[in-house]
Amino acid sequence: MEALRRLLGASPARRLPPPVESDDVYPVHMLDDTKTLRSIVVTWTLCFNDVLDTDNLHASLSRLLEIGDWRKVGGRLRLKNGELEIHVPRPFTAERPAVSYTHQSLAMDIEDHPLAKTLPKATEAPSIQSGPQAFRTFAARENAPETLEDFAYTDAPQLSLYITSFNNATLVALSWPHTLMDVMGQQALLHGWSLVLAGRESEVPPMLGAREDAIRAATDAPMEKEEEYSLGQKRLKGWAMAMFGIRFAGDLLRNRVVETRTIFLPKKVVAELQRQAQGDLAAQDDGAEKPFISEGDVLTAWTLRAVVSSLPQPRPVAALHALNARFRLSSLVQASGVYIQNMAVAAFTFVSPEIATGPLGHIALENRRHLMEQSTEPQVLAYLRELRREQKSGSDPASMLYCESNALLMPFTNWTRANFFKTADFSPALVRAGETGQSRSNPPGTMVFHHAQSMRQSPTARNVIVVLGKDHDDNYWLTGTLLPPAWAKIEEDLKRM
């Protein structure tokens, strides 16, 4: 058969590596092993305006993954009867390390590199800059794993570290299959890494739930009174789901070109957007006490309105938010350690065409209202029970959409709570400062920018907004994957600012 495949020009069939009997075997949990997350390999680039000791960074990250159940992060993905497991070498060795490590050193200032000099940077006014896809060369080494199969059919560690050094800057890139962790897992990893680097290994929080899934335990725990999922009646099924799929496919065919770009919003601009939104609500409520809306609500409202206003005809919008169960389930909130896994669940905001093209404050308030209704512990558990039923039936949880069949789906992810700019403290690895003088606003060894991407961009990705968070001056950074008319509308808005 193999000879026939070669004769026909087909690539040889991949074989699963033989199991290593001495490996520790860890499970992959309920919200990790999904069809959607299996299709994503994340790469995350952290930009430092300092020269850092790269060997020190590598050694401290490797050491972190030798502590207790942190070892799970250094394991290898394996498929067993169609399900994922993580096999961890015991011990890690030079041949089977905890982290795949590559370093390139470029003997020039970052400003002299034709591509690196265009990396996004803070500007005096709001700006639109190049997106992460333009910088793939700094995101991962050549021939790095790009698919789940690249991990499962090799002995590659889940986590890769790829560092690029300049004379005055350092780019630190991590990549991993999304089945490993979510954004708050990334924060925990970055914090633990910083502690080991600083010689504070005893302060590294223990990894919880490495073998027992805390999400599944919370879902299965008996409750005095279970609530029905409030959006249950809005779920797309049957003909409605078919119509949604037809419209989505039509949108893909009509609008093949999407652009991923980075938005920089100075602190004062976000404050002005917040003031406008609060003013809209004051006018609506005739001077009554204004309801609370967060900066995240306002950024959602601003980008949502720009996208809807750019459409040939306004449509209802379903904003799909990632809601983190770590902060919603009482059994997880007071945890004595960290969870390195996926704990994000879906939440939906529904906005009519009239509201979506109207005042900013009304959109922000609608977003706040829907999220508050869905973020209670009983509702998060109700959603998780729906998800369990879906998984048991063999269906893909990604098909669980709750909206009108003609709605425009807009996925939003807000990373602000992870506070990455201040979580990463690599000052113990500082060789020398790269940027000096009054223009510098960040402490030594901390990052000035970061962005993330998937190793393979999905052709269906569009109308996606990622809020990367605040930098050391409280300016906001966002990444958008949008159609050209939406970018034109955002540019128009920024010019007015």
CATH topology of domain 2-203: Chloramphenicol Acetyltransferase (3.30.559)
Common-topology check for domains 2-203 and 214-222+231-416+458-496: yes
Q: For residues 61 and 92, give the distance between their C-alpha atoms in angstroms, rounded to a whole number.
A: 13
Output the pLDDT for position 399. Answer: 76
At residue 461, what is the residue type? A
Closest CA to 275 of 478, 474, 497, 126: 497
Distances in Å between the Cα of 346 and the Cα atoms of 30, 40, 235, 319, 478 are: 14, 17, 13, 10, 20
Which positions are catalytic?
A: 178
Q: For residues 73 and 176, give the distance between their C-alpha atoms in angstroms, rounded to a whole number.
A: 9
Output the pLDDT for position 5. Answer: 42
Q: Could you list the pLDDT tens digit for every one of the 497 residues in the chain?
A: 444 444 444 345 678 888 899 999 999 999 999 999 999 999 999 999 999 999 999 999 999 999 999 999 999 999 998 899 999 999 999 999 999 999 999 999 999 999 999 999 999 999 999 999 999 999 999 999 999 999 999 999 999 999 999 999 999 999 999 999 999 999 999 999 999 999 999 999 999 999 999 999 999 988 878 899 999 899 988 999 899 899 889 888 888 899 999 999 999 999 999 999 999 998 665 556 678 899 999 999 999 999 999 999 889 999 999 999 999 999 999 889 999 999 999 999 999 999 999 999 999 999 999 999 999 999 999 999 999 888 876 667 777 899 988 999 999 999 999 999 999 999 999 999 988 888 888 999 999 999 999 999 888 899 999 999 999 999 999 999 999 999 999 999 998 88
* In the chain, domain spans: 2-203, 214-222+231-416+458-496
Residue with tokens 């700094």: 138
Q: For residues 78 and 87, give the distance between their C-alpha atoms in angstroms, rounded to a whole number.
A: 7
Output the pLDDT for position 254. Answer: 85
Please report how the helices 295-309 and 267-284 are oriented relative to each other, as an axis angle in degrees rounded to 10: 80
Output the pLDDT for position 69. Answer: 97
The CATH classification number of 214-222+231-416+458-496 equals 3.30.559.10
Q: Yes or no: say if 390 and 35 are a contact pair by the CB < 8 Å rule.
A: no
Q: For residues 323 and 40, give the distance between their C-alpha atoms in angstroms, rounded to a whole number.
A: 19
Kind and range of the H or E element at 174? strand 170-177
Residue with tokens 């190793």: 455
Q: For residues 200 and 64, give the distance between their C-alpha atoms in angstroms, rounded to a whole number.
A: 11
Output the pLDDT for position 4. Answer: 40
Output the pLDDT for position 298. Answer: 97
